[in-house]
Amino acid sequence: MNLAMPPAFPSVKSRHVAVVGAGAAGLVAARELRREGHSVVVFERGNEVGGTWVYTPRVEPDPLGIDPTRPIVHTSLYSSLRTNLPREVMGFTDFPFITLAGENRDPRRFPGHREVLMYLKDFAREFEVKEMVRFETEVVKVWILENGKWKVRSKKTIFFNNENNDHYNADIDNINKSEVELDDEIYDAVVVCNGHHTEPRIAEIPGINLWPGKQMHSHNYRVPESFTDQVVILIGSSSSAVDICRDVAGVAKEVHVASRSVAHETYTKQPGYDNLWIHSMIDAAHEDGTVVFQNGKVVLADVIMHCTGYKYQFPFLDTNGIVTVDDNRLGPLYKHVFPPALAPWLSFIGIPWKIAPFPLFEFQSKWIAGVLSGRITLPSQKEMMEDIKAFYSTLEASGVPKRYTHKMGESQFEYNNWLAAQCGCQGIEKWRKQIYLAASANKHLRPDTYRDEWEDHDLVLEAHEDFVKYTS
Ligand code: FAD
């Protein structure tokens, strides 16, 4: 060993770290990185913390979201949205998402979206995270330098207030922009927390180019009023599709849901509704405005709404092709976090889906923070690549499509516990897993009422007994 060369990690070391995004992932990342002794700058292009939970009635000008030059509205929330997870499961592990007194608070177990934003703001205040955030500052380019450091180029986002004192983003409202100010800075590491519910995925429909109706993606759905007396086709069967079809059925003439997860011949009326039908997928759309389903039914429709999910996108990230997105697989990533060739200096938080996001973000953040300081050791680059290859082979052998690489479901608990073991901290609470599973089953059983009727009262009690150690 050359004694003149310092070892990679002489001891637990403080790094200068850039975090991209101040949503739930960026907030907890910032907290954990600072706890570990790193110096942290969080870049946030919006003007408040909370990411996707910052609701706005505004939508993008391109309703399908396919124009790459369109101005971006980050959130995909609709006005009526209530959480699809119970609050005990949703919260960070040491900052329970409990009901707080106050006239502006929503006490429900599955609260409205505003309550989640208030919780994230409470979190940011409690752990003094806001002071690390540079608001209205968008990261436009991130790249690695020859010396292994990272250059982060950012630009100030221009906001202004109109006569009603609403806050507008100049990009979105196409306001004349003054000179764009770019700023370049050097960091030891970059943690990417930019969210993945903004770039729409669109279903492919034969004949759609000639179909004369209106198409949109659920990213641009806010309220049902504009669908009054219309015939609406919704594609998808995710939580958003389940909510939005009911929202729209309240005003529309007919709502037809095309679902990939039902049998070919399916054609059923949704119990409790006289204008909501479930079909198998769309076969083709035609010039005369009709849409034909695989079950043979023909519907003359005004609107097709794609509730078909989102794509990972990192327009600012230049890794020389080391990290790529292929059919919604972001890779190669060791344990969905570190690209081996760039580890630990580049990492991603929040890539897994079908999860309880906040606690998973918290475990990933602790791991990244500990690895960056040298307290936790990663396997060699070669070993990490082998682990990734083995993971891909397992997916392939089980017939899991590439686009489901980051889908977790029940395996999230094992994953969280693996991360916790790396960090030497407590794993996920047993009750959290049990409540998650009970809530999923209840949602399946009672899609219309699962947010207000449940049977896991004993587990809720257990969670609250556990919370006392953080709230007393
Ligand atoms: P985001 O919240 O999207 O935050 C990313 C942040 O990065 C944003 O603030 C954005 O402005 C910023 N950003 C992006 N690019 C840049 C850039 N280049 N420069 C600077 N800043 C940038 N989860 C639950 O737990 N329960 C639920 O009930 C639930 N319901 C959901 C319903 C819908 C409709 C959607 C879309 C999601 C839902 N989720 C739910 C998942 C939700 O996405 C996560 O809870 C979580 O908020 C994601 O946090 P994030 O920080 O990864 O991303």
Q: pLDDT tens digits for 71-92?
A: 999 999 999 999 999 999 999 9
**Which residue did the predictor score with more confidence, 246 or 171?**
246
Nearest to 129 by CA among 217, 19, 268: 19
What does the block give as tokens for 183?
A: 């700023």
| Domain limits, CATH 3.50.50.60, in the chain | 16-164+172-197+310-430, 208-306
Query: Is the distance from the beta carbon of residue 43 to the nearest atom of ligand 1 less than 6 Å?
Result: yes
Considering the chain, what percentage of its residues have pLDDT values greater than 90? 90
Distance between Cα 338 and ligand 1 center (Å):
20
Confidence class of residue 2 from pLDDT cuts 50, 70 and 90? very low
Query: Is the distance from the beta carbon of residue 138 to the nearest atom of ligand 1 less than 6 Å?
Result: yes
CA atoms within 13 A on the CB side of 136: 13
Q: Which residue has the tokens 């020859």?
A: 146
Q: How many CB atoms lie within 10 A of CB 195?
A: 23
Which atom of ligand 1 lies closest to the CA of 24?
51
Distance between Cα 24 and ligand 1 center (Å):
7
Class assignment of domain 16-164+172-197+310-430? alpha beta
Query: Is the distance from the beta carbon of residue 74 to the nearest atom of ligand 1 less than 6 Å?
Result: yes
In the chain, the amino acid numbered 375 is R
Which atom of ligand 1 lies closest to the CA of 120?
47
Distance CA 315, CA 118 (A): 29
Distance CA 128, CA 368 (A): 20
Distance between Cα 170 and ligand 1 center (Å):
21
Angle of CA points 453, 454, 460, to nearest 5°: 125
CA atoms within 13 A on the CB side of 35: 15
**Full 3-state SS string of 321-333:** CCCEEECCEEECC
Distance CA 58, CA 53 (A): 14
What does the block give as tokens for 279?
A: 């079909």
**Which residue did the predictor score with more confidence, 472 or 110?**
110
- pLDDT, the chain, mean: 93
Ligand 1 pocket mutation, candidates 194, 245, 349, 360, criterion most atoms within 8 A of CB: 194
What does the block give as tokens for 289?
A: 């405005």
Distance between Cα 196 and ligand 1 center (Å):
7
Q: What is the CATH number of domain 208-306?
A: 3.50.50.60
276-296 tens-digit pLDDT: 999 999 999 999 999 999 999
**Which residue did the predictor score with more confidence, 16 or 169?**
16
Distance CA 135, CA 120 (A): 16
pLDDT given at position 37? 97
pLDDT given at position 157? 75
| Inter-helix orientation angle 411-423/357-373, to 10° | 30
Confidence class of residue 3 from pLDDT cuts 50, 70 and 90? very low
Confidence class of residue 52 from pLDDT cuts 50, 70 and 90? very high
Roughly how many angstroms between the first and final C-alpha of the chain, as a whole number? 52
Using CB atoms within 10 Å of the CB of residue 194, give its burial: 0 to 12 exposed, 13 to 18 middle, 19+ buried.
buried
pLDDT given at position 159? 62
Nearest to 94 by CA among 337, 432, 461, 409: 432
Query: Is the distance from the beta carbon of residue 24 to the nearest atom of ligand 1 less than 6 Å?
Result: yes
Distance CA 184, CA 398 (A): 45
154-173 tens-digit pLDDT: 999 766 555 554 555 555 54
Which atom of ligand 1 lies closest to the CA of 21?
7
Mean pLDDT of 89-99: 97
Distance CA 124, CA 54 (A): 14
Distance CA 27, CA 43 (A): 11
* Torsions phi, psi for 286 (to 5 deg): -125, 160
Instruction: Give pTM, 2 decimals.
Output: 0.94
Instruction: Give the DSSP letter string of 272-301.
Output: T-SSEEEE--EEEE-TTSEEEETTS-EEE-
pLDDT given at position 161? 54
- From residue 356, give the alpha-carbon distance in Å to each of 109, 110, 122, 359, 437: 15, 14, 19, 7, 11
